[in-house]
Amino acid sequence: MEQNITGLDELLAGYAAGTLAAPAHALVGAHLEMTHRNHGYVASLEALAGQALEDTEPVALSDRETALNSIFDDQTILIEPVAESAEAGAAAPPSSLRSIVGKSMEELPWKSLLPGVRECKFGEIDGCNVSLLWVRGGRAMPSHTHHGTELTLVLKGGFSDADGHYARGDIAFADDNVDHRPIADEGEDCICFAVTEGRLQLTGIVGRFIAPFVRT
């Protein structure tokens, strides 16, 4: 249940136009692999872009072969939803994320962020901070806001905050107008792929206490 519809529509439009930063493009590609909910919308946007291209006067290419190779290299292939392993937490990442995450999330160098919360950082990619978060079922993240935007794709389980509930395949959008405290669903660990621009700021009494000890 993506709560910020306007933000999601802009994100999907950016994906169809090819204007998103690489990690955000991968995140939306993974969303489209995991759910068919927005396939029609994206296909319509791509069709409109194709029509606009047909209506544009052709321009000679100085290096046609290089240009074509670049176009084909950037294509994202949509596949059927990824099946999860029967073993808890062993879900393979969607193919759109594998150039960043790899083929197995269990083999990543997870680090404990807080009790019941682990994180794997991939550093800065195309101007964005990229990471995976693994939150034990029923545990809450500290209250926080953002100096910039945060896109979160649920890969496994689900979580809730003041804006609603997000399940597998959903995208949550947050910015500096959002101060939230995500809580993982009871009974199942929650794994999310997060792409942020700008730094995270912990809020609330607990957040202010642990902020000196947590890298954000």
When comparing pLDDT for 68 and 143, which is higher? 143
* Sign of the alpha-carbon torsion through 86, 117, 142, 100: negative
In terms of residue numbers, what domain contains 30? 1-216
Domain count, the chain: 1
Neighbours of 78 (CB within 10 A): 14
**CATH number, domain containing residue 129:** 2.60.120.10
Q: Measured between alpha carbons, how far is residue 114 from residues 34, 92, 118, 174, 180 in Å?
A: 28, 24, 7, 21, 17
Residues 6+ apart with CB under 8 A from 18: 25, 74
**Residue 133 confidence (pLDDT):** 92
Q: ∠ at Cα 142 (146, 5), nearest 5°?
A: 50
Most confidently modeled range among 114-118, 181-185, 192-196: 192-196
CA max distance for the chain: 61
Residue 184 DSSP symbol: E
Q: What is the pLDDT of residues 26-79, one digit of tens each?
A: 999 999 999 988 998 888 887 876 655 455 555 554 554 554 455 444 444 343
Q: In what order do the strands lie in the sheet with 183-184?
A: 164-167, 158-161, 183-184
Chain centroid to CA 201: 19
- From 35, 15, 191, select the one nearest 110 (Cα to Cα): 191
Q: For position 207, what pLDDT does the model report?
A: 46
